[in-house]
């Protein structure tokens, strides 16, 4: 049996997005329904509430648009996600594009001006560093 894929919980329609909006992806929801995917939200697991201030990465640290350094919560949540992914035997992930946690390949530049730069979110980067294959929902078939 194939191990499940770890997926951003918001892609499974869960109430965990920073802005409090629910925005699931039907393809990911179907994967969860079939037992093929495990939903996880690193920001909520790291101790942050929903809704919460939007955050971006600047110089390797994570800041809210309120100026508060949230790096510790982001790193704690990412570590918990890695642990859960390993418990399930996952080797791949499908994560929400451009999130400061889940974004893979492209994130925002830390100025809160919707400016995109190459980079990974904290969780996506940790998974990649540990050998996981990470795709965004925009790279699904
Ligand atoms: Fe979705 Fe990831 Fe943001 Fe949680 S941290 S709401 S899973 S994009």
How does DSSP assign 88-130, residue by residue?
A: HT--EEEE-TT-TTT--SEEE-SSSS--EEE---HHHHHHHHT
pTM of model > 0.90: yes
pLDDT for 3 equals 96
Instruction: Give, for ligand 1, the residue of 96, 98, 103, 138 to mutate: max count of ligand atoms closer than 8 Å to Cβ.
Output: 96
Chain mean pLDDT for the chain: 98
- Cβ 38 vs Cβ 5: under 8 Å: yes
pLDDT, residue 123, reads: 99
So what's the pLDDT on residue 1?
Answer: 82
Q: Check residue 22 and give its pLDDT.
A: 98
For ligand 1, atom 1: residue with the closest CA: 10
Helices 122-129, 71-88: axis angle to 10 degrees equals 40
Distance separating alpha carbons of residues 109 and 86, to the nearest angstrom: 30
Confidence at residue 14, expressed as pLDDT on a 0 to 100 scale: 98
Residue stretches of the chain with pLDDT short of 70: none
């Amino acid at each position: 049996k194939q191990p499940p894929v770890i997926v951003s919980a918001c892609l499974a329609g869960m109430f965990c997005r920073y802005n409090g909006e629910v925005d699931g992806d039907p393809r990911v929801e179907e994967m969860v329904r079939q037992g093929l995917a495990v939903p996880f939200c690193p920001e909520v697991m790291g101790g942050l509430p929903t809704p919460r201030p939007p955050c971006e990465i600047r110089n390797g640290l994570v800041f809210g648009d309120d100026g508060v350094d949230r790096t510790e919560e982001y790193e704690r949540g990412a570590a918990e996600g890695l642990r859960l992914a390993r418990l399930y035997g996952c080797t791949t992930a499908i994560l929400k594009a451009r999130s400061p946690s889940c974004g893979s390949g492209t994130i925002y530049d830390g100025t809160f001006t919707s400016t995109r730069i190459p980079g990974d979110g904290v969780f996506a980067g940790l998974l990649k560093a540990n050998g996981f294959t990470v795709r965004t929902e925009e790279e699904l078939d």
